[in-house]
Amino acid sequence: MRSLRVLDTHTEGEPTRIVLDDHPDLTGTLAEQRLVMKQWDWVRGVVAEPRGYDAFVGAWLRPAEGDEVAGVIYFDAAGPLGMCGHGTIGVVTALAHLGRWPESGEGHLMTPVGRITAWRHPDGSVEIENIPSRRSLKDVKVTVPGYGEFTGDVAYGGNWFYILHESPVELISGNRRELLRMTSLIRDELHRQGIAGDDGGEIDHVEICVPHADPAIDVRKFVLCPSGADDRSPCGTGTSAHLACLAEDGQIAEGQVFVQESVTGGLFSATVRRTPEGWVPRIRGRAWVTAESTLHFAADDPYVAGLPE
């Protein structure tokens, strides 16, 4: 029987399952380890039903490659991810809970897409500086039967996003099922047309951002994730991609605080600065530890890799 010790957190409502145990087959760079994990069907079972559910993102802690506190490989029920903003906030909170985060509050994590700096503030909130983000395509149009034509940008913030600024379906929690249906159809149409990010990067997230009625909050957001679930948080990599688009269009100044709310009420605040490599975002949010447990994967369990899709 295979067993894994895990620690669960949620970041503004979005869950992260952090794997604490090592594995003998995970060697080499994080990018190489990520490729190994991609071949393991059973890894899906860490976050999928019956041990988890479709909103879970996994974060497998790895030994540090340099002076980082740890390495991290992110994944969900659809497979490995390049980066995860809400997951990083959860990882920092978990490492602090375990007594492994620096007392100064500042530390670094290595991910398959690059090195991340994070700060844990005295109030328990976590701020992360993500990798440089960028827009690849502007004003990309797709038409979805029953919903009409959409115009959005293709941008990268650690994952690839199609970002919209209007929706025929109101962004409220009670409409999440309909929003999931609509954004899934949008993503299907992007794939059907062969629309992709740089070097063929798959657009596996769809993000809708609309102006908020509260003047203290800039936008309300809905984000479709690769697993087919919606992000309960405002989505860290989506925030990064969105800020890059806003900055390119001159709609946000460097250092200007931008506040976003998910349809379930989770809040992130963020800023952005220009670098030669792209727009570097900082995102701040909160996470809480919710559980510590051991997952068991029996050899005769037909659902080791999760329930069928």
Question: Which residues have a catalytic role annotated?
Answer: 84, 235
Least Cα distance to 13 among 179, 258, 261 occurs for 261
Q: What is the DSSP string of 214-263?
A: STT--EEEEEE-TTSPBPSS--HHHHHHHHHHHHHTTSS-TT--EEEEET
User: What does the alpha-carbon distance between residue 13 and residue 160 come to, in Å, rounded to a whole number?
Assistant: 22
Question: For residues 116 and 38, is the Cβ–Cβ distance under 8 A?
Answer: no
User: What does the alpha-carbon distance between residue 44 and residue 50 come to, in Å, rounded to a whole number?
Assistant: 11
- Determine whether 295 is exposed, middle or buried from the number of CB atoms within 10 Å of its CB (0-12, 13-18, 19+): middle
User: What does the alpha-carbon distance between residue 278 and residue 220 come to, in Å, rounded to a whole number?
Assistant: 25
Question: For residues 143 and 195, is the Cβ–Cβ distance under 8 A?
Answer: no
Other beta carbons within 10 angstroms of residue 79's beta carbon come to 14
- Write down the residue that tokens 């059973």 correspond to: 42
